[in-house]
Amino acid sequence: MLVAKKPRSSIPYYEQQQQKRKSVERRANSSRLAVKKLTILCVLLLITLSALSLVAHFVLVVQVNYEIGRATRELLSMQEQQQQLKIEIAALRSPERLEKIALEEIGLHYPTHSQLIVLTAGNLEVGD
């Protein structure tokens, strides 16, 4: 009877176990490194988003300040215009101006003595 010889493994059992442990350690180190990289990436992303939000907030503040300045200038301009219009209204309502327009432009004149009717309390009768 012929029996085949068992092939002897070229690597002893102890060395095979060490190689398995090394490969497991390499995989564990690789996964730890991946977790560290992912953590760093998340932190960088968080810092970037924070910086972008701060920049956006700063831009908004600058824009609002610009609009406040523009509105303030517009308000001052309108207040100045209102003051000038009040002065113009006062000048247009002056009795001297109205008298001059009535006499010269419209052609009105002062009433004569015969055109005046003077009413006294005695002329009024109650119960007519």
pTM strictly above 0.75: no
| Mean pLDDT of all residues in 18-43 | 91
What value does the mean pLDDT of the chain take?
Answer: 88
**Residue 83: C-alpha distances to residues 25, 69, 95 (Å):** 86, 21, 21
Q: What is the pLDDT of residues 57-111, one digit of tens each?
A: 999 999 999 999 999 999 999 999 999 999 999 999 999 999 999 998 898 988 8
Lowest mean pLDDT among 24-28, 32-36, 51-55, 61-65: 24-28
